[in-house]
Amino acid sequence: MQFSKLNFLLLGILFSIATLTSCKKDEVKPITLGSSVTVTNTFQSTAFTGGTELAIEDLFMVDAGSLAATSIVSPTVEFPAYLLNLYDIDISESSISFTVVAEANDPNYGTLFRELEAGTTDRYYLTFNNSQSVNGFTSSNSSVNLRIDSDKILVVEIGEGYDFKPGQNFTITLD
């Protein structure tokens, strides 16, 4: 009788160990699907703004905040044709992607397509309604950086050397 109690005890211990070791810790994604995110844009250039960072609305001479957009992070493109048809911006649980959708003859951007010069930074502030878990990143374009201002604010910085032209795209992979 003692032998079978010992067998049950050992079986119980083995089952417990097997259960605990087979359970994987839930992987935390850097971005949470269903989060609300607002994108705003600023531009800073020694040539165009005297080195001052200005809201894009100031450059387009439109009402403050009128070019901001809010969406919910989902499996679809969150910001199609953002900023007067300049970029498609797609945010997933583990990446942020931008694609220039403006055409070469676009009335707003056609004359601005070029390789960005030194002293120029185009910033996209992504402000989330709740905390995200972004700890780091890699960028597919050496002229694109991600600044992590807080657990709710990420800033995509496009700078010197970026080939600003139709069809250009980049992806920031998040850790």
30, part of any domain: no
115, part of any domain: yes
26, part of any domain: no
Task: Supply the pLDDT for residue 116.
Answer: 97
Q: Residue 115 belongs to what domain range?
A: 36-174
12, part of any domain: no
112, part of any domain: yes
18, part of any domain: no
Buried b (16+ CB within 10 A) or exposed e, 21-34: eeeeeeeeebbeee
Q: Which of 27, 38, 51 is nearest to 126 (CA)?
A: 38
Q: What is the mean pLDDT of each run of 10 residues along the chain (175 residues)?
A: 51 49 68 98 95 96 97 97 97 98 96 97 98 98 98 98 98 98
8, part of any domain: no
Task: Supply the pLDDT for residue 9.
Answer: 46
Task: Supply the pLDDT for residue 26.
Answer: 67
Count how many domains the chain has.
1
Give the distance from CA 78 to its chain's centroid.
11
Task: Supply the pLDDT for residue 10.
Answer: 45
> Tokens at residue 153, please?
């604010």
2, part of any domain: no
